[in-house]
């Protein structure tokens, strides 16, 4: 980045930080807070699949809010869901982030 005086303000940012900043900007457009964005990036890096309940617990939000968040991410192609059959009741929906 160069200032108006042609001074170098920021040297090269490593690619990981640059990618994180890009992801945070995408999530910011979806009205997701920076704190939650950083936690979502951690989950993305761990490559874990999360359920609505586990995400709600991890982000310390309600399950309904977590569900809305996951649906918003899925609609914007930032998350992919899979249905997992369980012994009783409805199948469980697990999400994997695809930032």
pTM value > 0.85: no
CA dist., res. 44 & res. 73, Å (int): 12
- Is residue 9's pLDDT more than 80? no
- Is residue 34's pLDDT more than 70? yes
CA dist., res. 22 & res. 99, Å (int): 9
Over residues 46-66, the pLDDT tens digits come to 988 999 999 999 999 999 999
CA dist., res. 1 & res. 95, Å (int): 36
CA dist., res. 55 & res. 67, Å (int): 9
- CATH number (2.60.40.1180, 1.20.58.220, 1.10.10.10, 1.10.3720.10) of 2-97 reads 1.10.10.10
CA dihedral 77, 51, 66, 96 (to 10 degrees): -20
What is the model's pLDDT at position 55?
95
Handedness of CA 66, 69, 75, 81 (dihedral sign): negative
- Ranges of each domain in the chain: 2-97
Name the more confident of 83 and 9. 83
DSSP state letter for 75: H
Select from 88, 96, 87 the least CA-distant residue to 48. 96
């Amino acid at each position: 980045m160069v200032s108006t005086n042609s001074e170098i303000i920021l040297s090269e940012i490593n690619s990981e930080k640059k990618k994180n900043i890009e992801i945070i900007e995408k999530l910011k457009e979806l009205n997701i807070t920076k704190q939650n964005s950083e936690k979502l990036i951690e989950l993305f890096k761990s490559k874990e699949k999360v359920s609505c309940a586990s995400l709600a617990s991890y982000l310390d939000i309600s399950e309904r809010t977590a569900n809305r968040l996951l649906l918003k991410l899925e609609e914007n192609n930032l998350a992919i869901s899979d249905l997992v059959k369980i012994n009783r009741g409805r199948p469980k929906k697990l999400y994997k982030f695809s930032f």
